[in-house]
């Protein structure tokens, strides 16, 4: 048995006895080895290690990168799908949601599919709502047109009745035929305003238009036993178009007759100077407050298609850069003033 002695510096001594055939010790083999002999060959080792690391970099790192990319591929596809939501058809997006066996990714995929389904349903609901809104808008517009046509129509029917009863009188016949003619012209202009491709030159307002309008609404005043009077205070030439002004006068007078009630007083004044044309209507009915007027305008503008008179007046005032104002200085009754600048308006502008 070889005896070994190791020293702190790494060197070692080996001692082995040499035996004879009969087991007697003949001597010893003594070997002393310096620590340097046990030192590894660092250069050879480094070479091997470098080859190993180089192989790892060349083979394993690309494999690791590929595995990582493969792992994140479903996530990347999900991100692409999410990015394109709203820009591409839902069916396409739904087909591109990755199907994986991974439970967590499956949950995300299912959630995105559900999101796409809900968005699709929302889109369909929005389309239905938009369609309904369009139909409602068409209904409102139809109601407004009916309202604007109905106002002069009743006056015209009264005029034809007058013509039937007193047509023998030449003066009354001519007056009534002129009235009917101007009323029909107003209807034509009102309808033409709804057709963008039709451009009809409108004549300027004349003081006699107020008398026409009063005649047209007289039947309504008579049915309420109301007293309707008109006055003209024109100091300058009228340059405003007749159709919108007649429309405004009709609307405001019908509203005033309705507000004045039975045996009420209605007064209409057409004023004009070089700057503006005003139409003032007073009725002796209940006072109209600013809040009530605002509520009425807001209601007529959208939700309640039954009455469009005041709303149309305000829209026309806004269109012709004028105004619809309530006189709050009076304590009894209501006085509304519609005004627009006294100047000529181009057809396109109008």
Partner 1 sequence: MLRRLPYRIQIPFGLSVAVLVTALLVTGISAKIYVSNVREETLATLDRAVVLIGAQARPMLAADDTWKTFTLLRDTAALIPGATKGNARLALLDVEGRVFAASDPIKLETGQELLGGLWRGKVLKANSNHNDRKTKLPRRICRFAGVNKK
Nearer to partner 1, 34 or 295 (CB): 34
**Beta bridge pairs of residue 272:** 234, 277
Closest separation in Å from C-beta 119 to partner 1: 24
Nearer to partner 1, 17 or 131 (CB): 17
Q: Tokens 């070997």, residue?
A: 31
- Pick the piece of the chain touching partner 1 (CB under 8 A) from 23-31, 82-90, 260-268, 337-345: 23-31
Closest separation in Å from C-beta 87 to partner 1: 21
Q: Is 34 in the site for partner 1 (CB under 8 A)?
A: yes
Closest separation in Å from C-beta 18 to partner 1: 5
Nearer to partner 1, 64 or 139 (CB): 64
Nearer to partner 1, 16 or 304 (CB): 16
Closest separation in Å from C-beta 84 to partner 1: 17
Nearer to partner 1, 37 or 237 (CB): 37
Residue 36 CA to residue 16 CA, distance in Å, equals 22
Nearer to partner 1, 29 or 165 (CB): 29
Site for partner 1 in 48-107 (CB under 8 A): 49, 52-53, 56-57, 60-69, 71-72, 75-76
Q: Tokens 């290690």, residue?
A: 49
Q: Is 26 in the site for partner 1 (CB under 8 A)?
A: yes
Closest separation in Å from C-beta 97 to partner 1: 17
Closest separation in Å from C-beta 99 to partner 1: 19
Q: Is 132 in the site for partner 1 (CB under 8 A)?
A: no
Token pair of 73 as six digits: 């591929």
Nearer to partner 1, 68 or 208 (CB): 68
- Pick the piece of the chain touching partner 1 (CB under 8 A) from 22-30, 113-121, 189-197, 298-306: 22-30
Closest separation in Å from C-beta 112 to partner 1: 16
What does the H/E/C string look like for the chain? Answer: CCEEEECCCCCEEEEEEEECCCCCEEEEEEEEECHHHHCCCHHHHHHHHHHHHHHHHHHHHHHHHHHHHHHHHHHHHHHHHHHCECCECHHHHHHHCCCCCCHHHHHHHHHHHHHHHHHHHHHHHHHHHHHHHHHHHHHHHHHHHHHHHHHHHHHHHHHHHHHHHHCCCHHHHHHHHHHHHHHHHHHHHHHHHHCCCCCCCCCECCCHHHHHHHHHHHHHHHHCCCEEEEEEEECCCCCCEHHHHHHHHHHHHHHHHHHHCCCCEEEEEEEECCCEEEEEEEECCCCCCHHHHHHHHHHHHHHCCCCCHHHHHHHHHHHCCCEEEECCCCCCCEEEEEEEECCCCCCCCC
Residue 95 CA to residue 72 CA, distance in Å, equals 19
Closest separation in Å from C-beta 319 to partner 1: 56
Q: Is 138 in the site for partner 1 (CB under 8 A)?
A: no
Count residues near partner 1 (CB under 8 A): 54
Q: Is 29 in the site for partner 1 (CB under 8 A)?
A: yes
Q: What residues line the site for partner 1 (CB under 8 A)?
A: 1-5, 7, 11-20, 23-34, 36-41, 45, 49, 52-53, 56-57, 60-69, 71-72, 75-76
């Amino acid at each position: 048995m070889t005896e070994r002695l190791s020293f702190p510096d790494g060197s070692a001594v080996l001692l082995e006895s040499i035996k004879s055939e009969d087991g007697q010790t003949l001597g010893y083999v003594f070997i002393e080895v310096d620590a340097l002999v046990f030192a590894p060959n660092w250069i050879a080792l480094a070479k091997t290690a470098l080859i190993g690391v180089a192989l790892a970099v060349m083979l394993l790192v690309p494999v690791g990168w590929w595995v990582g990319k493969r792992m994140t591929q479903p996530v990347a596809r999900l991100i692409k799908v999410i990015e394109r939501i709203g820009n591409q058809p839902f069916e396409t997006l739904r087909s591109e949601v990755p199907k994986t066996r991974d439970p967590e990714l499956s949950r995300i995929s299912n959630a995105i599919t559900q999101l796409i389904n809900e968005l699709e349903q929302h889109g369909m609901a929005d389309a239905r709502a938009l369609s309904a809104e369009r139909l409602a808008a068409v209904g409102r517009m139809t109601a407004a047109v009916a309202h604007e046509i109905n106002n002069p129509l009743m006056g015209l029917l009264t005029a034809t009745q007058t013509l039937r009863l007193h047509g023998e009188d030449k003066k009354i016949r001519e007056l009534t035929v002129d009235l009917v003619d101007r009323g029909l012209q107003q209807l034509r202009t009102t309808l033409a305003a709804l057709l963008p491709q039709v451009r009809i030159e409108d004549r300027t307002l004349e003081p006699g238009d107020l008398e026409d309008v009063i005649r047209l609404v007289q039947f309504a005043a008579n049915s309420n036993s109301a007293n309707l009077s008109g006055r003209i205070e024109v100091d300058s030439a009228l340059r405003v178009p007749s159709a919108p002004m007649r429309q405004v006068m009709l609307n405001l007078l019908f509203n005033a007759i309705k507000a004045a009630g039975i045996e009420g007083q209605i007064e209409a004044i057409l004023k004009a100077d070089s700057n503006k044309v005003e139409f003032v209507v007073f009725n002796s009915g209940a006072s109209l407050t600013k809040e009530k007027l605002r509520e009425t305008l807001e209601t007529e503008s959208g939700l309640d298609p039954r009455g469009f008179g005041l709303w149309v007046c305000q829209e026309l005032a806004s269109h012709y850069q004028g105004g619809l104002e309530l006189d709050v200085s009076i304590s009894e009754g209501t006085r509304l003033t519609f005004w627009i600048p006294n100047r000529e308006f181009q057809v396109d502008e109008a």
